[in-house]
């Protein structure tokens, strides 16, 4: 199990003549098995941080270590390998391939690793069974409810047994009852020893399972809090949240 370490991470986006700084010198460490919540207003840099952790984007400066490997120095193929094996992603809008069935969607990340069709089908069925969708294997996303689609998305994120689970507003597009069901699944995954980093607006919903919460504001780490303890640290007033 490896820890994740971010040092002075900065990400700039050119916007015409201007440069917008989405992340500004963020440093943090996530220990193995931790459940980290990332909160903040829209445009605060939460999703940018998640994309950098996933290796979907590259930092403008700073470093991002998983164990002894710096993502900032990796080649595109190494980053793809990182997304195949080290991290699994869950999105607010599920992002399933609309033309593939639930089973095929879950099989897809395993196809990229070259796993045989028989083995990946078996594993995909098992993962979909774990999220309660054994009866929906052959349904395409448009035939599934939002909650069911998110379960497929979670099953897909686990296809290659990643150590890190990166979730971007996983309950943001669901009603509260379904959101709670999804939360339960995340709790269970965390309980199995996975490191979970979850970006959310719904801090109250997630608070019960988070080990730590960080708040980003204007691309900077503004506040850090450990739910259940009265200790809060940061640059701003904890009472703002």
Partner 1 sequence: MPWRDVLQMAWRNIGQARLRFILTCLGVLIAISTLVALVSFGAGLRQQTVENLEVREVFTSFQILGPARAQSFRRFRSPGAENSASSARPVLDQELVGRVAALDGVVSVQPDIRFAVRLENGENAHLTRVRGAGPHVAPLSPYSKITHGRFLSGTEGAEIVLTGRVARRLGFEPAEQAVGKTIQLLTDRLKQDVSDGDLPFETVRLSYQVVGVLPRLLPNQTNPFFRGVVIPLEEARRLWKENASGMTSLSGLSSLEEGRGREYDSIDVRVADLVSLERVREEVRSWGAATFAIVDQMKRIQEAFLVLEVVLGVLGGIAMLVASLGIANVLIISVMERRQVIGIMKAIGGTDRDVRRIFLAEAGLIGFSGGVMGLLAGWTLTRIATVFIDRYFQSNNILNPPDLFAYPLWLVAGAIGFAVGLSLLSGVIPANRASRVDPVQALRQG
Residue numbers at the binding site for partner 1 (CB under 8 A): 51, 54, 56-57, 76-77, 80-81, 83-85, 89, 91, 93, 95-100, 108-109, 111-114, 117, 156-157, 159-160
Q: How far is the CB of 221 from partner 1 (least distance, A)?
A: 21
User: Could you give the CA distance from residue 86 to residue 73 in angstroms, rounded to a whole number?
Assistant: 16
Q: How far is the CB of 88 from partner 1 (least distance, A)?
A: 8
Q: How far is the CB of 240 from partner 1 (least distance, A)?
A: 27
User: Could you give the CA distance from residue 152 to residue 147 in angstroms, rounded to a whole number?
Assistant: 9
Q: In what order do the strands lie in the sheet with 69-70?
A: 18-30, 4-15, 61-66, 69-70
**Treating both helix axes as pointing N-terminal to C-terminal, what angle do 146-157 and 117-130 enclose, rounded to 10 degrees?**
130
For Cα atoms 142, 148, 152, give the angle at the middle one, nearest 5 degrees.
90
Q: How far is the CB of 108 from partner 1 (least distance, A)?
A: 6
Residue whose CB is less far from partner 1, 58 or 187:
58
Q: Report the candidate in 68, 53, 1 with the shortest Cα–Cα distance to residue 166.
A: 53
Residue whose CB is less far from partner 1, 51 or 163:
51
Residue whose CB is less far from partner 1, 4 or 52:
52
241: its two tokens: 């949240």
Residue whose CB is less far from partner 1, 104 or 195:
104
Q: How far is the CB of 107 from partner 1 (least distance, A)?
A: 9
Residue whose CB is less far from partner 1, 164 or 222:
164
Q: How far is the CB of 118 from partner 1 (least distance, A)?
A: 13
8 Cβ neighbours under 8 A, 6+ residues apart: 25, 26, 27, 61, 62, 63
Residue whose CB is less far from partner 1, 130 or 224:
130
Q: Which helix (H) or strand (E) holds 107?
A: helix 102-113
């Amino acid at each position: 199990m490896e820890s994740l370490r971010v040092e002075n991470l900065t990400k700039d986006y050119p916007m015409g003549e201007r440069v917008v700084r989405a992340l500004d010198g963020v440093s943090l460490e996530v220990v193995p098995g931790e459940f980290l919540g990332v909160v903040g207003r829209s445009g605060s840099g939460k999703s940018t941080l998640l994309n950098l952790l996933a290796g979907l984007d590259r930092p403008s400066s700073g470093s991002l270590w998983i164990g002894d490997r710096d993502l900032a120095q990796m080649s595109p193929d190494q980053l793809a390998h990182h997304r195949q094996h080290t991290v699994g992603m869950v999105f607010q809008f599920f992002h399933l391939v609309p033309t593939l069935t639930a089973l095929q969607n879950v099989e897809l990340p395993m196809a990229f690793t070259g796993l045989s069709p028989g083995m990946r089908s078996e594993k995909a069925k098992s993962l979909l069974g774990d999220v309660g969708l054994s009866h929906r294997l052959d349904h395409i996303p448009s035939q599934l409810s939002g909650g069911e689609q998110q379960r497929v998305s979670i099953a897909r994120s686990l296809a290659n047994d990643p150590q890190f689970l990166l979730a971007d507003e996983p309950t943001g597009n669901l009603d509260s009852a379904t959101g709670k069901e999804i939360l339960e699944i995340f709790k269970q995954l965390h309980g199995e020893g996975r490191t979970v980093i979850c970006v959310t607006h719904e801090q109250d919903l997630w608070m019960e399972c988070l080990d730590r919460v960080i708040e980003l504001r204007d691309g900077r780490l503004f506040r850090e809090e450990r739910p259940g303890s009265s200790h809060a640290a940061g640059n701003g007033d904890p009472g703002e949240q």
